[in-house]
Structure 1
């Protein structure tokens, strides 16, 4: 999930100027986006530990009584943490467009594989091991389904996720496949704008069409967040104009409707509160896009951004299993903080010991493989 995966160098989109729009502007690294990613991941983790409808039921399998009784103030705040996922999607649209500008489809494919799979494989195995060691909270999948999860394609084959949070990866993968078409054509201001408009129209028509393939491809529940991110990046690179403001405004209007549906699903928060939080985030991203946060250059934010993806992948089922075992040992608020801190440490270890070395190996292997394809093509 690019919104929570390390973005690579944000300069990738600003070191080349578009042939179609000659006034693309160079920008420094966007440290603020790294910080926003970690904040969104922490929102989701806090929601899963102290703000879900499941955790607020009497006799739930995580706490010994409803979490709103244990820590009412925390519950009111954590009940809105699910919005972190929508924030991830917007950031993903921004960062994917930024990191792919001027690159080939091969570069795009390699970058997605080495960013997404190493930490994901580790998370699947880690969560499976924790559920085996700490039974009673969640059911463990059969081994064949765990192994299939390693493909990251389980949603498309109707195989359950090892951890429910992986559902967002399926939404991300569909976005990547769609955007790959534009990458193959060559990214320009005009092509990305046309892509936003065409995808938005498809996402709007998909629910009423009752055409399963269109719903699958258009991804109406997530499309407008990605589109918002794409429009924000175009503002960042080329400056705002009325067309981009219009796309962003439409994305906000469509997004607030989807937020209402999510509120009904989560059953713990209000639509007004969700819209206020999402609007505040949108305004912050506008400030980022227009360069108002360029002076923020705190180096530690790079590390914070690197922790986001492993934290998101590992925290939910394993974390709630730990809480179930430790809930009688300390104050619930302290326990939530301790579990989140533990998963931040785990995320750092995964980043340093798994992501970095595996990413280097995968890059070398994939580059060699594509080199062979070129050689065979030339020989033919």
Structure 2
């Protein structure tokens, strides 16, 4: 049997030979597809992962944990401080770096935009929905139950929610019902969910370079208008506090898939300009212990690193342990805050403060690995099978051809 590639080569050689034309290599596929950007040059990774992004995700989670444990003076409620005095007095050097760890959240948002666009390319809305459910909920359900149980066992540090509020937290939709989070870090999931809902529209239309660029521009415009429009629904959907970080991730993925061009650099530059303003707002209103210049510097270095990764300069990094590191990130983020700070509040004074923070971080890393292996993996498989079967029944009931089988 003759392979298709061999057949194509032979045909071209015969045609050129008969016509007396010079033999030249075929143009790249991107250049042959109408509507593809003229600078398209990088083939998509084709299912291969960017290992460095897994490493950056874990680094961002560790930054956030360090900030919560050693980079802020927790006095959210009277008598509810984690340490008995400001951390800047207990471990000043650690505090100086940890005070900027909150930027890990913005890093998460950028990576989320990149990864969601990459993982959804060529997928249907059903596949997008299933992938998000099996990725988000197993570890989240464990985290809600674990944190609730831990705060019952270690009372007096954080206020415990009522049972009905805890149960509503299992939906991940509590912010939409004005119900408190079991753990304060869950506020970021509300931003993620709104991003998924908006991006689902583009997935349903079919992801292309043009449509994703248009989505970035329209979402960015809505995010700029929302704060002054006086329309609560627009502000809720546009998510002006986080929109530009997700947009930066989308632009970076387009660079990775199609190559760089001036339009993508313009979107990324706009995201940086809007992001630095938002960083300044967070420093002024929430993160009083850090400075605007330092936070913008960290964010800028991160974006430049992501550009290098998107353009292929880090492709040689293929350390297998980075895959595991990336898998541990989400469970670590979910379980570290309320339980970890409650533990520190009880144990501070029993050992060196730096050793205590390092021990708590190490303990939650181990727990995160176990959650990934023993909770996420098996539960995700069950959910995927169940959801695919359910969608197959829907297809069959609606008379869609091919609905008798379970799509992959």
Normalised by the shorter chain, which TM-score bucket? over 0.9
Alpha-carbon distance between aligned partners in 1 of 2:97 and 2:41, rounded to the nearest angstrom: 43
**Higher Cα Rg, which structure:** 2
Alpha-carbon distance between aligned partners in 1 of 2:76 and 2:228, rounded to the nearest angstrom: 35
Higher relative contact order (CA 8 A, sep 6+): 1
For residues 247-293 of structure 1, the C-alpha deviation after alignment (integer angstroms, 9 at most, x for no partner) is 00000000000000110111110000000000000000000010000
Alpha-carbon distance between aligned partners in 2 of 1:142 and 1:183, rounded to the nearest angstrom: 38
TM-score by length of 2: 0.87
Alpha-carbon contact 2:174-2:181 (below 8 Å) kept: yes
- CA RMSD, aligned part only? 1.8
- Per the TM alignment, residue 326 of structure 1 is displaced from its structure 2 partner at its CA by 1.3
Alpha-carbon contact 1:56-1:67 (below 8 Å) kept: no
Which residues of 2 match residues 1-380 of structure 1 at below 5 A? 20-21=35-36, 25-27=43-45, 28-54=48-74, 61-264=81-284, 265-378=286-399
- Per the TM alignment, residue 52 of structure 1 is displaced from its structure 2 partner at its CA by 1.6
Residue number in structure 2 paired with 1:5: none
* Secondary structure at 1:360 match in 2: helix
Alpha-carbon contact 2:80-2:158 (below 8 Å) kept: no
How has the CA–CA distance of structure 1 residues 197 and 72 changed in structure 2, closer, same or farther, with 3 Å as cutoff? same
For residues 312-343 of structure 1, the C-alpha deviation after alignment (integer angstroms, 9 at most, x for no partner) is 00000000111112112210000000000000
How has the CA–CA distance of structure 1 residues 270 and 57 changed in structure 2, closer, same or farther, with 3 Å as cutoff? farther
* Secondary structure at 2:181 match in 1: coil
Alpha-carbon distance between aligned partners in 1 of 2:374 and 2:88, rounded to the nearest angstrom: 38
For residues 84-120 of structure 1, the C-alpha deviation after alignment (integer angstroms, 9 at most, x for no partner) is 0000000000000000000000000000000000000
* Secondary structure at 1:292 match in 2: coil
Alpha-carbon distance between aligned partners in 2 of 1:63 and 1:170, rounded to the nearest angstrom: 29
For residues 143-196 of structure 1, the C-alpha deviation after alignment (integer angstroms, 9 at most, x for no partner) is 000000000000001000000100000000000000000000000000000000
Alpha-carbon distance between aligned partners in 1 of 2:315 and 2:185, rounded to the nearest angstrom: 32
Segments of structure 1 that go 5 or more residues without pairing to the other structure are 1-15
For residues 109-137 of structure 1, the C-alpha deviation after alignment (integer angstroms, 9 at most, x for no partner) is 00000000000000000000000000111
- Per the TM alignment, residue 20 of structure 1 is displaced from its structure 2 partner at its CA by 4.2
Q: Which deviates more from structure 2 when the two are superposed, residues 261-270 or residues 366-375?
A: 261-270
How has the CA–CA distance of structure 1 residues 41 and 182 changed in structure 2, closer, same or farther, with 3 Å as cutoff? same
Alpha-carbon distance between aligned partners in 2 of 1:141 and 1:180, rounded to the nearest angstrom: 32
How has the CA–CA distance of structure 1 residues 307 and 286 changed in structure 2, closer, same or farther, with 3 Å as cutoff? same
Alpha-carbon distance between aligned partners in 1 of 2:261 and 2:82, rounded to the nearest angstrom: 49
Paired residues, number: 365
TM-score by length of 1: 0.93
Segments of structure 2 that go 5 or more residues without pairing to the other structure are 1-28, 402-408
- Per the TM alignment, residue 53 of structure 1 is displaced from its structure 2 partner at its CA by 3.3
Residue number in structure 2 paired with 1:4: none
* Secondary structure at 1:54 match in 2: coil
